[in-house]
Amino acid sequence: MKIKAVIFDLDGTITEPYLDFDKIREDIGLARDAGPLLEEMDKMSVTERKKAEEILYKHEQCAIEYSVLNRGAAETFDKLGEMKIPVGILTRNTRLNACAIAEKHNLKFDAIVDRSDGPVKPHPFGVEKLCSQFKVLPGETIVVGDYLFDLQCAKAAGAVAVLMKNSDKSMLFSSFADFTIDNLIQLLDIIDSTK
């Protein structure tokens, strides 16, 4: 089936990995190996959560300030624009931070679904919402990310799951991916192969 849209994770996919979630959990007062951060924060009291959100915000601001694009990102976004293929961002980060990344690196995002819009990855909500906005089927959509939740939400929605290999750790999730890439420009080959 022809690919008509691409949905990207933000941190570690468009930009090089920066956020250290073990360190963030530790700074918040959680065990380094506690569960996923947003889910852990949902269990907190209002006061604890406010403090946790402030700590997370500081880490996310540093991630923007020191962000570096992953290999092939700029060229891939340019080419997708030329091909008139809409680009969605599906992130457990915030819309504001996604927009800051776009502005800093001169990228164009056609739509963003962030952690405040509905159930977060690995739930398929974000993929389904973006596909609906773009008027495409999930099967006509690539979801690319560097973590298990990206691949799980793609599969749950019926989209094509692409793993961005940015570390040895990311390769632990390769069995969940339809394709594995180490340079975003390789997405263009995947798109070409579906024409």
Q: What's the whole-model pTM score? A: 0.91
Say if CB 81 and CB 6 are below 8 A apart: no
| pLDDT over 80 (residue 195) | no
Fold of 5-15+69-193: Rossmann fold (3.40.50)
Domains of the chain, by residue range, sit at: 5-15+69-193, 21-65
**CA 5, chain centre distance (Å):** 15
Nearest residue to 161 via CA among 151, 170, 153, 169:
151
E strand spans, 59-140 = 87-90, 111-113
Query: Which DSSP string do the residues of 17-36 spell out, in sequence order?
Result: ----HHHHHHHHTS-TT-S-
Return the residue matching tokens 């949902």.
Answer: 42
More confident residue, 118 or 171: 118
Say if CB 179 and CB 160 are below 8 A apart: yes
| pLDDT one-digit tens code per residue, 75-118 | 999 999 999 999 999 999 999 999 999 999 999 999 999 999 99
What is the average pLDDT across 129-144?
98
Say if CB 177 and CB 148 are below 8 A apart: no
